[in-house]
Every structure is written in structure tokens, then in C-alpha cells.
Structure 1
Amino acid sequence: MMTKLGPLLLVLLLAGPESSCGDNPRYEKFLRQHYDNPKSSFSGKYCDSIMAKRGLTKPECKEVNTFIHETKNNIKAVCEEGGEPYGNLRRSKEHMKVTTCKLKGGSTRPPCKYKENSSPRYIVIGCENGWPVHYDESQIVTTVDNADLD
């Protein structure tokens, strides 16, 4: 019996807790759009390449998108003890490594050209049943608000 369970057990151990998300298509979409750890290396420009690879340039160029270069566990922790309420969202308690890609020029029609900004900052996400499902691009938080220090 152990020989039949051996390969299955090995797969489960190799998959580890990071890969377990239940069956949550919103979390999978979040990962596709915002997760890139370790940061991918492209021969060309990072943002132009990853935006195209992730399908964020068709049928139109997405105007802004952020990629988080942290582990899935660190990102998920923002939905729990690693984050704090931020309106109806959650803000990370620690800075995270991210790259924000912003569309250059006024047209959203391909070919898409992006400029990138890589800097550590707090992330603001929406969570559903403990899983990250939304990155709030409108919230670029680089410092703690003074009101949070009171």
C-alpha cells in the first residue's frame, strides 16, 4: 500500500501549501494578473514583455497593472494577520516588492508600450474567504498614514 501512496504523497509534499487555493477562479485570475515571483527576466523590457505574456494587451492595452514579487503565502497573509483593514480592503503591514506597469502614450490599441516603476510599497488588496482576489491599482501606498500612528 505504501508504494501506491508514495508518488501521491510526493506530489502533495512538493506542491506544498502555496499551491492550494481550493477551487477559486478569482484567486487564479489575481495570480495571473498580479503575481510574478521570482521576478521574470526578459530579454526586452519587463513590462512590455510580461503584459503581453499574461494576455493584458489584447484586445486593448491595459492602462496600468502591478506585479507583486513576493511568495503566494506572503500575499495571502495580507488577507489575515499580515494585513490590516483599509476601508473594505486589506493593506499589507510590510512593504512588498512590486513593479507597476503604466501605458505610455494615449492610445490603448496595440502595440502596447509601458514604462515601469519598481519599488517596495504597501499593497492594498481585496480578499474573499481569505484569498486575494483584487489588487487596488488606485491605492499606491508608500508610507503609513499619520492617522494610523495615533
Structure 2
Amino acid sequence: MALQKTLSLLLLSLLTLLGLGLVQSSYGQPMYQRFQRQHVDHKVTGGNNSYCNRMMRTQGMTRHTCKQFNTFIHENIRTINNICRNRKTIPCKNSRMNCHAGVVRVTDCRNTGGSPPNNCQYQATASRRRVVIACDGNPLVPVHFDS
């Protein structure tokens, strides 16, 4: 009986600490990895239509449907992580205040037709522009491409 009470108190304490944010959950890590898979390609400085067609397919964004729009950032992950360290936050599209802005090299891939999984077609636009990313975790890391 005493052991059950102790375990119950420990569980309640852990849940309280999680709720207060004093114990970091693993929520941010899978989101960070997904962000990198979907949005980071530091190996090139810009892409063309064939780049978009290949990357969208190999990064898993054409399996069930053709993702309508995606942006690849052509900077190393350290540079992208530094955007999250910008102290000035801005509102995200979902109204949360965890977005940060920075200027980076990108390729925007816009769907122009086709069907999944291997026939989705994309038009590329390469540029250097301002991006907005949502950041979470401790330390802050990018978890969502907002615009």
C-alpha cells in the first residue's frame, strides 16, 4: 500500500514538472528531425524543376498525395538553428509566439500536376529570401516551416 502511494506521488510529481516545462519532453526531437528531412538541403545552393521532382519524392512528400508546396533551405543546420536563437519572436500563422525570421537561400517547389507516388511534377523557384520558422525545445530548434 505504501509503495503504491509513493509511486502515485512520484507520477503526479513528474506530470506536474512536465506541465511546468521543467522536464524537457522528447516532443521536439522527432519534429526537429522531420523539419530537417522536409526542409533542409545544405548540399546545393538552389534547385531546378528536376531537383524538386527528385527531392519531393526521395524525402517522402509524394507517397500518398502530391504535397502542394514545400521549401528547401540551402544552409547548414547550424545557420538554421541560429534563426531560432534570434531573441525577437513573431506570431506564427497559428498565433503562437514561437516563430523567428531569417534570410536564407531556398528552393520553393510548387506542384504542377501528376499523381503519386512517382509522377508528381514540381516547378522550382530558387532565391534568397526571408523565412519564418517555429522553434521549440531547450535549446530552441526549428520544428516547423511557417512561411
**TM-score, normalised relative to structure 1:** 0.66
2:88: which partner in 1? 84
Change (3 A) 1:85 1:41: closer
Contact map agreement 2:46 2:74 (CA 8 A) in 1: no
> How much has 1:33 moved relative to structure 2?
0.3
Does 1:57 find its partner at 2:59? Answer: no
Aligned length: 113
Amino acid paired to 1:90: C
2:9: which partner in 1? none
Change (3 A) 1:53 1:40: farther
> Take 1:108 and 1:124, find their aligned partners in 2: how far apart are those partners?
29
> How much has 1:71 moved relative to structure 2?
1.0
Contact map agreement 1:91 1:122 (CA 8 A) in 2: no
Contact map agreement 1:62 1:108 (CA 8 A) in 2: no
Percent identical pairs in the alignment equals 34
1:131: which partner in 2? 141
What 5-or-longer segments of structure 1 have no aligned partner?
A: 1-21, 140-150
1:99: which partner in 2? 107
> Take 1:84 and 1:46, find their aligned partners in 2: how far apart are those partners?
33
**TM-score, normalised relative to structure 2:** 0.68
- Cα-Cα RMSD: 2.6
Report 1:1-150 matches (<5 A): 24-39=29-44, 45-81=50-86, 84-87=88-91, 88-93=97-102, 95-105=103-113, 109-110=116-117, 111-129=119-137, 130-136=140-146, 139=147
Higher-Rg member (1/2): 2
What 5-or-longer segments of structure 2 have no aligned partner?
A: 1-25, 92-96
**Structure 1: which 4+ aligned runs deviate by more than 6 Å?**
none
